[in-house]
Amino acid sequence: MFSNSDRFKESFLKRLESMCGKGFEETTKRDQYLTLGNMVREYISSKWIETNELYRSENKKQVYYLSIEFLLGRLLVQNLLNLGIKDVVEEGLNDLDIDLGDIEECESDPALGNGGLGRLAACFLDSLATLNLPGHGYGIRYKHGLFDQKIVDGYQVELPEQWLRHGNVWEVRKPDEAAEILFWGKIETSYDNNELSFKHVGAEKVLAVPYDMPVVGYHVDTVNTLRLWNAEPAAFAPNQDILSYKRDTEAITDFLYPDDTHDEGKILRLKQQYFLVSSSLQSIIASYKKENSNIRELHHSVAIHINDTHPALAVPELMRLLMDIEGLTWDEAWKVTTNTLSYTNHTILSEALEKWPIYLFKPLMPRIYMIIEEINERFCAELWNKYPGDWHKIEHMAIIAHDLVKMAHLAIVGSNSINGVAKIHSDILKHREMKSFYDIYPTKFNNKTNGITHRRWLLKANPGLTNLIKNTIGEDFVHQPDKLIDLKRHIYHPDLKEQFANVKRKRKEILAKRIAEKNGILVDIDSIFDVQVKRMHAYKRQLLNVLHIIYLYNRLKEDVNYTIQPRTFIFGAKASPTYYYAKKIIKLIHSLADKVNNDPRVSKIIKVVFMENYRVSLAEDIFPAADVSEQISTASKEASGTGNMKFMMNGALTVGTLDGANIEIMEEVGKDNIFTFGLTAQEVLNYEENGRYRSMEYYHHDLRIRQVVDQLTNGFFSEDEGEFESIKDSLLVQNDQYFVLRDFASYIDIQEKVGVAYQQRDKWLEKALINISHSGFFSSDRTIQQYADDIWKIDPMGVRV
Ligand code: 26V
């Protein structure tokens, strides 16, 4: 049906009419989307079945990636591309006067994740399948993904996201493979024939029903599975009000928690975590037992990865299943568990480290709590042997302390591998944040620098640039992203530079059009597109960017002869609904935009744009159009960053601190091809330790700083003078926790250099091309290969077609 465009056209028309019961002319874009989606899903299904059969018959080791988030983005065009049928489909549709892009717009953008962590999981799935690695995702089928953001009078308003409103053509419901999850109730312990047994009585049962989605590898036969669990009522217990039971049960998978750092500490979130872990482990064990008889060898066939601490309950849950259901002893179960599990840490921010109060935890999962207590006691005994009498150390490392269950400690003790997501982050884990664990388990710790899939962020998002690269160095880079380095031999070639400049310009035009439509702002295509898109958070320092813009505005107002390269400052960011400070910064950006964009003279030179509802599909339009990538977190706080890699791959130059993967980007491209500034991580950590930073001193000694900070509250913005007082207070009264004022001067300097560098057009284009040629290292194919070799010990299956 996809062998050539005529055959495709024929089957598409037939399908469209039979599915919709109307003539072609009558059908809507959504009808066309649904028809095409179903045709593609059907086409995938034979490969999917074959992949599963191959996995069963070969019975080699497989990995299961447990994650509370998978930020997939739209799937139709990515699937067409990976299947190698995008051109055929596009051609056939064009004959019918249908634009594939228009059809794509009908697909919802599944936002089952908050940001970096969830998007990383999605990139990993794409790489696993493409490398023919037997690896599957396990997650939650949230009815509502991350909220839709609307801006009203400059303020963020959240609306429920509705990705399932028109159904989901990619999923298959598998009610026969549902699992039962038990909450609440009591544990009855009995002792018969020299054996302890545990009975969970009076529990509330929840049914976990799997919905499977295919994960199609690029130009290979492999189709892996993303299994998302939906919570449904099981047989209801006596004495229970059936309506409230139904409501409580379904609530478990109703919403994605909209935060990516604040510790929420809500019971529903804990329920989600256990729900994901228990259903996934039951499903993994069931499929293992189909082909294998000895559960004591589970770790030879199965690796299970814990994405951050959210699925860390896998440690006690696997113990429970192995002991209570499979009949293993504690020692046998512990050996299998620790040999099966591995864990990635994604942040060192203390407010994001999960700690659950016992009073919430214990009644909800009584058996799990018992097991954690036992793990903790054995671990503390081990510590006591190693550090006799050192109560302080033991208290600090314990899994349960001060009435809290520390999920990171549980994950570390229960896993065979613990990794950070960029070199500097892994070093901070080893030598500071988790030093005491590194001291006792030095070989467990390792680094896996993050990556992104070039198939979405280059091939799909930027076909113009992709073709230019193909025409210059051939197609090898498509399968081996490292080969992008071949571009380097061509960068001084004037043709390549001009063609690249054209590609960039076209994408800037497309983005400018979108901005004109959505924001009603006309932006200058010749200006620098300077972009900061990511979650709104104090440590990411959108405020530093804002203060720089106020400073530029002041200079342009004060001195009519001051000339700079025109710039368009573009922001995109969602703030957690309860994060007051982050929401204020969104309002501040809007007030600044009003001020700047409405000044007749200044607005010819600089403009400020806030793009509403930042999400994967919008990101695909933003990265290709960017000239400058803002990666300005306080050094040591951004574990890795992955947006930085997407910008680089699309030929934007980074303005960045020496933080996360920015450092590795600098090592790749060289110091001349990146703009770094600010405190180093070591300097930040020193300040934090010695407490010698005084933001007031910077405010008093640097006139530029004083002026911009004062403008927050002196009526410069047309809002109430109190509107931004809390931001000013964060800088002065609360001593500027993220060193915004400390890095201000250095940021101003580097930004001036950026402006000058952009005017040396030829050199700039060379730098951009150098960035692209070194971006192969940041492909998630490299990252996943390292996980497969070093942590999971899995080998590829199947063959490339
Ligand atoms: C925490 C919470 C707390 C409560 C409610 C929901 C929620 C959701 C996520 C998180 C943890 C967020 C950690 C995270 O996203 N880290 C980011 O991971 C990226 C991928 O490794 C990395 O590039 C970013 O630097 C890092 O901030």
Compute, in angstroms, the gap from residue 115 CA to the centroid of ligand 1.
Answer: 7
Pocket of ligand 1 (CB under 6 A): 114-117, 120, 257, 259-264, 308, 346-347, 352, 421, 450, 638-642, 660
Q: Which helix (H) or strand (E) holds 374?
A: helix 366-386
Compute, in angstroms, the gap from residue 258 CA to the centroid of ligand 1.
Answer: 11
The CA-based diameter of the chain, rounded to the nearest angstrom, is 93
Compute, in angstroms, the gap from residue 90 CA to the centroid of ligand 1.
Answer: 37
| Percent of residues, the chain, with pLDDT higher than 70 | 99
- Residue 801 pLDDT grade (very low, low, confident, very high; cuts 50, 70, 90): very low
Determine which of 140-144, 260-264, 558-562, 597-601 has the lowest per-residue pLDDT on average: 260-264
Neighbours of 559 (CB within 10 A): 9
For ligand 1, atom 16: residue with the closest CA: 346
534 counts as catalytic: yes
Across 37-55, average pLDDT: 97
Q: In this structure, what DSSP letter does residue 325 have? A: I
Task: Please calculate the CA angle 390-396-398 and round it to the nearest 5 degrees.
Answer: 95
Compute, in angstroms, the gap from residue 261 CA to the centroid of ligand 1.
Answer: 6
Return the pLDDT at 261: 74
Could you tell me how many helices (H) and strands (E) the chain has, helices first? 33, 23
Ligand 1 pocket test, pick from 268, 346, 633 with the greatest ligand atom count within 8 Å of Cβ, gives: 346
Return the pLDDT at 237: 63
Rounded CA-CA distance 159/148 in Å is: 5
Residue 384 makes CB contacts below 8 A (sequence gap 6+) with 394
Compute, in angstroms, the gap from residue 232 CA to the centroid of ligand 1.
Answer: 28
Beta carbons of 442 and 769 less than 8 angstroms apart: no
pTM, two decimal places: 0.98
Compute, in angstroms, the gap from residue 727 CA to the centroid of ligand 1.
Answer: 24
220 has a pLDDT exceeding 50: yes
Compute, in angstroms, the gap from residue 255 CA to the centroid of ligand 1.
Answer: 17
Ligand 1 pocket test, pick from 70, 112, 117 with the greatest ligand atom count within 8 Å of Cβ, gives: 117
Of the candidates 51, 55, 25, 20, the one whose C-alpha atom is nearest the C-alpha of residue 38 is 20
Tokens of 398: 């314990």
290 counts as catalytic: no
Alpha helices in 603-676 (DSSP H): 616-622, 643-649, 662-669
642 counts as catalytic: yes
Return the pLDDT at 558: 97
For the CA of 120, the nearest atom of ligand 1: 20
- Residue 236 pLDDT grade (very low, low, confident, very high; cuts 50, 70, 90): low
Ligand 1 pocket test, pick from 308, 418, 424, 574 with the greatest ligand atom count within 8 Å of Cβ, gives: 308
406 has a pLDDT exceeding 60: yes
Beta carbons of 625 and 508 less than 8 angstroms apart: yes
Would you give the distance in Å from CA 356 to the centre of its chain? 23
What's at 438, amino acid-wise?
Answer: Y
269 counts as catalytic: no
More confident call, 196 vs 47:
47
- Residue 393 pLDDT grade (very low, low, confident, very high; cuts 50, 70, 90): very high
Determine which of 52-56, 244-248, 357-361, 660-664 has the lowest per-residue pLDDT on average: 244-248
Ligand 1 pocket test, pick from 345, 347, 429 with the greatest ligand atom count within 8 Å of Cβ, gives: 347
| Percent of residues, the chain, with pLDDT higher than 90 | 95
3-state SS class at 11: helix
Of the candidates 742, 709, 777, the one whose C-alpha atom is nearest the C-alpha of residue 635 is 742
For ligand 1, atom 2: residue with the closest CA: 260
Return the pLDDT at 351: 82
Return the pLDDT at 290: 96
DSSP 425-494: HHHHIIIIITHHHHHH-GGGEEE----B-HIIIIIIT-HHHHHHHHHHH-SHHHH-GGGGGGGGGGTT-H
Active-site option among 508, 534, 584, 590: 534
For the CA of 660, the nearest atom of ligand 1: 25
Is the C-alpha dihedral spanning 84, 85, 88, 91 positive or negative? negative
What's at 382, amino acid-wise?
Answer: E
Give strand pairing partners of 226: 137, 213
pLDDT digits over 364-378, tens only? Answer: 999 999 999 999 999
753 counts as catalytic: no
Rounded CA-CA distance 234/209 in Å is: 10
pLDDT digits over 538-593, tens only? Answer: 999 999 999 999 999 999 999 999 999 999 999 999 999 999 999 999 999 999 99
Neighbours of 698 (CB within 10 A): 22
Rounded CA-CA distance 58/642 in Å is: 35
Compute, in angstroms, the gap from residue 638 CA to the centroid of ligand 1.
Answer: 10
Rounded CA-CA distance 482/468 in Å is: 17
Compute, in angstroms, the gap from residue 146 CA to the centroid of ligand 1.
Answer: 14
- Residue 800 pLDDT grade (very low, low, confident, very high; cuts 50, 70, 90): very low
Ligand 1 pocket test, pick from 142, 261, 537 with the greatest ligand atom count within 8 Å of Cβ, gives: 261
Q: In this structure, what DSSP letter does residue 240 have? A: -
Residue with tokens 């690269």: 469
Judged on CB neighbours under 10 Å (0-12, 13-18, 19+), 351 is exposed
Of the candidates 567, 537, 532, 543, the one whose C-alpha atom is nearest the C-alpha of residue 742 is 543
Beta carbons of 568 and 607 less than 8 angstroms apart: yes
Rounded CA-CA distance 312/320 in Å is: 14
Active-site option among 9, 504, 574, 646: 646
Task: Please calculate the CA angle 403-405-407 and round it to the nearest 5 degrees.
Answer: 160
Averaged pLDDT of the chain: 96
Task: Please calculate the CA angle 184-190-193 and round it to the nearest 5 degrees.
Answer: 150
Compute, in angstroms, the gap from residue 352 CA to the centroid of ligand 1.
Answer: 8
Rounded CA-CA distance 266/765 in Å is: 50
- 700-705 contacts at long range (C-beta below 8 A, 24 or more positions apart): 702/741, 702/744, 702/745, 704/551, 704/554, 704/744, 704/745, 704/748, 705/547, 705/741, 705/744, 705/745
pLDDT digits over 472-531, tens only? Answer: 999 999 999 999 999 999 998 989 999 999 999 999 999 999 999 999 999 999 999 999
540 counts as catalytic: yes
Across 611-626, average pLDDT: 98
Distances (CA, A) of 436 to 149, 264, 430, 688: 42, 26, 8, 20
For the CA of 115, the nearest atom of ligand 1: 15
Active-site option among 74, 299, 305, 540: 540
Across 284-288, average pLDDT: 98
For ligand 1, atom 8: residue with the closest CA: 260
Return the pLDDT at 352: 83
For ligand 1, atom 10: residue with the closest CA: 260
For the CA of 119, the nearest atom of ligand 1: 20
Return the pLDDT at 238: 64
Across 236-244, average pLDDT: 75
For the CA of 425, the nearest atom of ligand 1: 25
Active-site option among 430, 448, 504, 535: 535
Compute, in angstroms, the gap from residue 578 CA to the centroid of ligand 1.
Answer: 16
Rounded CA-CA distance 731/734 in Å is: 6
| Class (C level, CATH) for 59-74+109-450+785-792 | alpha beta
Query: Per this entry, what is the length of the chain?
Result: 801
Tokens of 412: 């570390």
Q: Which residues of 535-555 are buried (b: 16+ CB within 10 A; e: fewer)?
A: bbbbbbbbbbbbbbbbbbbbe
14 has a pLDDT exceeding 90: yes
Q: Which helix (H) or strand (E) holds 173?
A: strand 172-173
pLDDT digits over 158-188, tens only? Answer: 999 999 999 999 999 999 999 999 999 999 9
Rounded CA-CA distance 452/454 in Å is: 6
For ligand 1, atom 18: residue with the closest CA: 117
Compute, in angstroms, the gap from residue 121 CA to the centroid of ligand 1.
Answer: 11
For the CA of 421, the nearest atom of ligand 1: 21
Compute, in angstroms, the gap from residue 71 CA to the centroid of ligand 1.
Answer: 12
Beta carbons of 487 and 772 less than 8 angstroms apart: yes
For ligand 1, atom 7: residue with the closest CA: 260
Ligand 1 pocket test, pick from 640, 738, 783 with the greatest ligand atom count within 8 Å of Cβ, gives: 640
Residue 579 makes CB contacts below 8 A (sequence gap 6+) with 259, 262, 536, 537
Compute, in angstroms, the gap from residue 639 CA to the centroid of ligand 1.
Answer: 9
Across 79-103, average pLDDT: 97
Compute, in angstroms, the gap from residue 222 CA to the centroid of ligand 1.
Answer: 29
Return the pLDDT at 263: 72
Homologous superfamily of domain range 454-769: Glycogen Phosphorylase B; (3.40.50.2000)
693 has a pLDDT exceeding 80: yes
DSSP 496-543: HHHHHHHHHHHHHHHHHHHHHHHH-----TTSEEEEEES---GGGTHH
Active-site option among 642, 657, 713, 783: 642
Across 639-645, average pLDDT: 98
For the CA of 633, the nearest atom of ligand 1: 25
767 has a pLDDT exceeding 80: yes
Q: What residues does CATH 3.40.50.2000 cover in the chain?
A: 59-74+109-450+785-792, 454-769
799 has a pLDDT exceeding 70: no
Give strand pairing partners of 419: 344, 446
Ligand 1 pocket test, pick from 66, 112, 114 with the greatest ligand atom count within 8 Å of Cβ, gives: 114
- HSE-CB for 259 with a 13 A CA cutoff: 17
